[in-house]
């Protein structure tokens, strides 16, 4: 037995060794393995959540919401966790709009019930805090205007995270926000603690996109297409409405019938090329005028409506027919007016293939227009070395090349715009969530397609088409001047021209003296007795314009419509409407109104009209040179663009009232 002193020393040594081991282990845990254990502790106690960012909205040019992102909810019910089924089941059924009997049966028989909905926040509100009810939220797209302009807007992926078609995909990075991050504490059971400082990074919402589309005009265009399918037994069609001075697309409608079902969300105006027929005669006429190959007195014999044209040196011939049989000679203007294939075929021989090709290229055919859309067709225009002896005549008649409705609209817009071809645009503005403008569309000239004097001459030719003796004389408005060109092309399906099937079209410029709108109306395969462009597409255009003129749409600047057609009949009583005695209104003032001071060149500041009446607001805005769109009634709340912003004269300011 050792001495007590030795035993004590031994015990002290053992204790000291133990202490060293404890300290050593602690040092190992905290200093050497500290980071690993801290991470493990965080993993158990904390959870990092990704906070979804709201996707930016899509609006029309006046701020009418077309696509918005909202939070929607799914509801899960754990029957075992419900505290009082007799009270909870009716409450759940009422909130979700379901029969009580169905919910009760499911609660009795199942361990977990998932109601995918989607349910709005308003619907699930009464269920919040109810034991056994689990609510999960997610963002989803909401379309306040229904199916309006869906072909343009496009669609999102199933999880609503990214765009898969249309503007949604073209501007995906602009519309998509930046997700936020949050860290929450959990207990051992995995339940999350509420924490006042849990968000490490707030989610940033995406930017809002304001399209150039005018909702009112878009609705008129879509309705016109629906009516066309019914009235003309057509298989589909397209409408494009464009502002020729800016290139902004105001309305785009498409209808296609597949197996008896009408498809409304296709963007065929961008993607589906067609042979334009006689609407393209104007471009060969432009080439002839620009190169001085024709003067106003030049005329060719119209062959009484049938001409056998020699197309090769071997003596091969092609027979060309005119729907409108003409006797005698036709000038270029008359050839356009009566849409003579024979005269255009003869005139086209005065151009070389390269000249005709270059003229069409100058109008933008054969190239995508560059509109902000993800899938645009370039149409089809073969290089001149691939043309044969008939091609010049055929192309002059609108065959052997393909155009999209948007290309045709842009080309006609250049004629309305004194010969300058502009890039068509679909995006008017991009704004951040606070409303600050990040991008605003400015007209983008591509090139001069024809000299100004030639454009004016072509517009005069178009005027003759809707005048007496023209192919669209029934399309003329009574009081305001519409000009345009009809087209009726035999359809080519699978490389074969199918007799008796047509694409009817009408390209219009309105009004003639100061163009504000270019309209392309195309009717596919009209099935009734009326198949020509002048019988189908032209009346549709006229009806659309009449509706637009009578509507509240701001797409038409009525101040610039003040001049009536010189040949218009005087306004008189008709259909029971009393004549208006303008002279008796002593308060009428001339427009444009004198402008206020404080303006920069061509621009003006949007005045603050919040809190005033609509009348005062409209007057104040008109005085600054703006056009006005009204939303709501009563006291003015705000304007879009906001007060204080500098805008160009003629900009539409939307006034939002209570």
> Where along the sequence are the contacts to another protein (CB under 8 A)?
64-65, 68, 70-72, 120-122, 124-125, 128, 142-146, 194-197, 216, 219-220, 223, 477-480, 543, 545-547, 549-551, 558, 561-562, 568-569, 571, 574-575, 577, 580, 585, 587-591, 593, 615-616, 618-619, 622
Find the shortest distance in angstroms from Cβ 511 to another protein. 11
Least distance from another protein to the Cβ atom of residue 164, Å:
23
In the complex, the smallest distance separating the C-beta of residue 155 from another protein, rounded to whole angstroms, is 18
Least Cβ distance, residue 474 to another protein (angstroms):
13
428, containing H or E segment: strand 427-431
Q: Which of 365, 633, 621, 410 is closest to 518 using CA atoms?
A: 410
Kindly tell me which of 31 and 194 has the beta carbon lying closer to another protein. 194
Contact of 501 with 528, CB cutoff 8 Å: no
Q: Which is nearer to another protein, 31 or 580 (CB)?
A: 580
Contact call for residues 204 and 180 (beta carbons, < 8 A): yes
Work out how close the CB of 183 gets to another protein at its nearest, in angstroms, rounded to a whole number: 14
Name residues whose C-beta falls within 8 Å of residue 443's C-beta, 6 or more positions apart in sequence. Answer: 245, 246, 247, 422
Give whichever of 7 and 116 is closer to another protein, judged by the CB atom.
116
CB of 123 to another protein, least distance (A): 8
353 versus 544: smaller Cβ distance to another protein:
544
Pairing state between β 636-640 and 652-657: antiparallel
Minimum Å gap between C-beta 220 and another protein is 7
Q: Which two tokens stand for residue 443?
A: 């007209």
> Cβ of residue 374: shortest distance to another protein, in angstroms?
27
Give 282 or 629: the residue with its C-beta nearer to another protein: 629
Of the pair 84, 479, the CB lying nearest another protein is at 479
Smallest gap from Cβ 228 to another protein, in A, equals 15
Neighbours of 225 (CB within 10 A): 24
Please spell the DSSP secondary structure of 284-337, one letter per residue.
HHHHHHHTT---TT-EEE-GGGEEEEE-STT--EEEEE-SS---SEEEHHHHHH
E strand spans, 60-121: 65-77, 113-120
H/E segment holding residue 242: strand 236-243
By beta-carbon proximity to another protein, the closer residue of 223 and 382 is 223
Strands (DSSP E) found in 470-524? 483-493, 496-510, 517-524
Hey, what are 438's tokens?
A: 């990040």
Report phi then psi at 55, rounded to 5. Answer: -75, 145
Bridge partners (DSSP) of residue 490 are 502
Coil, strand, or helix at residue 254? strand
Toward another protein, which CB reaches closer, 104 or 140?
140
Closest distance between another protein and the C-beta of residue 613, in Å? 10
Compute the distance between CA of residue 322 and CA of residue 340 in angstroms, rounded to an integer: 6
Q: Token pair for residue 284?
A: 């060969």
37/193 with CB nearer another protein: 193
Query: Cα(311)–Cα(379) distance, rounded to whole angstroms?
Result: 26
- The residue (of 34 and 579) whose beta carbon lies closer to another protein is 579
CA–CA separation, 544 vs 524, rounded Å?
Answer: 18
Give per-residue burial for 527-556: e unless 16+ CB within 10 Å, then b: eeeebbbbbbbbbbbbbbbebbeeeebbbb
> Are the C-beta atoms of residues 545 and 509 closer than 8 Å to each other?
no
Residue placing its CB nearer to another protein in the complex, 188 or 615: 615
Paired strand residues for 238: 254, 522
In the complex, minimum distance from the CB of residue 616 to another protein, in angstroms, rounded to a whole number: 7
Please report which helix (H) or strand (E) contains residue 26, including its range.
helix 4-27
- Residue 227 vs 295, nearer CB to another protein: 227
Minimum Å gap between C-beta 267 and another protein is 20
CA–CA gap between residue 167 and residue 243 (Å, rounded): 20
């Amino acid at each position: 037995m050792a001495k007590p002193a030795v035993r004590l020393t031994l015990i002290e040594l053992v204790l000291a060794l133990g202490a060293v081991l404890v300290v050593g282990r602690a040092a190992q845990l905290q200093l050497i393995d500290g980071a690993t254990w801290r991470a493990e502790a965080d993993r158990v106690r904390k959870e990092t959540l990704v906070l979804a960012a709201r996707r930016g909205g899509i609006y029309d040019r006046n701020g009418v919401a077309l696509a918005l992102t909202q939070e929607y909810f799914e509801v899960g019910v754990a029957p075992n966790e419900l505290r009082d089924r007799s009270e909870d089941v009716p409450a759940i059924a009422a909130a979700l709009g379901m029969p009580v009997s169905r919910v009760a049966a499911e609660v009795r028989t199942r361990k977990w019930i998932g109601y995918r909905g989607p349910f709005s926040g308003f619907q699930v509100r009464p269920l919040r805090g109810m034991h056994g009810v689990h609510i999960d939220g997610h963002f989803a797209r909401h379309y306040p205007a229904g199916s309006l302009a869906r072909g343009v807007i496009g669609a999102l992926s199933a999880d609503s995270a990214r765009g898969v078609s249309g503007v949604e995909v073209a501007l995906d990075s602009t519309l998509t926000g930046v997700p936020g991050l949050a860290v929450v504490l959990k207990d051992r059971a995995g339940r999350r603690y509420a924490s006042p400082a849990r968000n490490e990074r707030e989610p940033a919402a995406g930017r809002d996109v304001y399209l150039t589309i005018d909702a009112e005009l878009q609705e008129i265009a879509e309705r016109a297409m629906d009516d066309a399918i019914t009235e003309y037994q057509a298989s589909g069609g397209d409408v494009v409405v464009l502002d020729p001075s800016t290139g902004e697309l105001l309305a785009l409608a498409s209808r296609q019938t597949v197996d008896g079902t009408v498809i409304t969300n296709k963007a065929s105006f961008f993607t589906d090329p067609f042979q334009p027929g006689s609407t393209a005669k104007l471009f060969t006429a432009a080439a002839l005028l620009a190169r001085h190959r024709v003067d106003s007195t030049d005329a060719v014999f119209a062959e009484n409506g049938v001409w056998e044209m020699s197309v090769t040196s071997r003596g091969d011939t092609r027979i060309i027919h005119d729907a409108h049989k003409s006797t005698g000679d036709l000038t270029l203007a008359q050839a356009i007016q009566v849409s003579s294939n024979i005269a255009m075929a003869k005139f086209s021989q005065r151009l070389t293939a390269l000249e005709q090709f270059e003229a069409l290229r100058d109008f933008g055919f054969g190239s995508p227009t560059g509109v902000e859309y993800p899938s645009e067709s370039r149409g089809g225009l073969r290089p001149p070395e691939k043309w044969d002896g008939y091609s010049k005549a055929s192309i002059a008649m609108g065959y052997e090349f393909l155009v999209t409705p948007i290309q045709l609209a842009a080309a006609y817009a250049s004629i309305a715009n004194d010969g300058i071809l502009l890039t068509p645009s679909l995006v008017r503005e991009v704004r951040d969530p606070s409303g600050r403008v990040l991008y605003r569309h400015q007209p983008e000239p591509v090139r001069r397609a024809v000299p100004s004097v030639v454009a004016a001459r072509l517009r005069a030719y178009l005027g003759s088409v809707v005048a007496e003796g023209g192919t669209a004389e029934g399309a003329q408005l009574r009081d305001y001047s519409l000009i345009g060109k009809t087209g009726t092309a035999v359809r080519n399906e699978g490389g074969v021209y199918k007799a008796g099937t047509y694409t009817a079209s009408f390209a219009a410029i309105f009004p003639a003296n100061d163009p504000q709108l270019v309209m392309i109306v195309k009717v596919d395969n009209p099935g009734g007795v009326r198949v020509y462009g002048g019988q189908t597409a032209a009346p549709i255009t006229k009806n659309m314009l009449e509706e637009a003129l009578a509507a509240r749409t701001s797409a038409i600047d009525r101040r610039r419509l003040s001049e009536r057609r010189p040949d218009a009949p005087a306004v008189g009583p008709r259909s029971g409407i009393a004549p208006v005695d303008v002279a008796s209104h002593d308060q009428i003032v001339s427009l444009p109104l004198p402008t206020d001071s404080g303006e920069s060149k061509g621009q003006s500041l949007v005045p603050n009209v919040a809190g005033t009446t609509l009348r005062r607001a409209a007057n104040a805005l008109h005085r600054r040179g703006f056009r006005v769109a009204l939303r709501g009634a009563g006291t003015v709340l705000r304007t879009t663009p906001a007060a204080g912003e500098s805008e160009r004269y003629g900009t539409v300011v939307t006034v939002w009232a209570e």
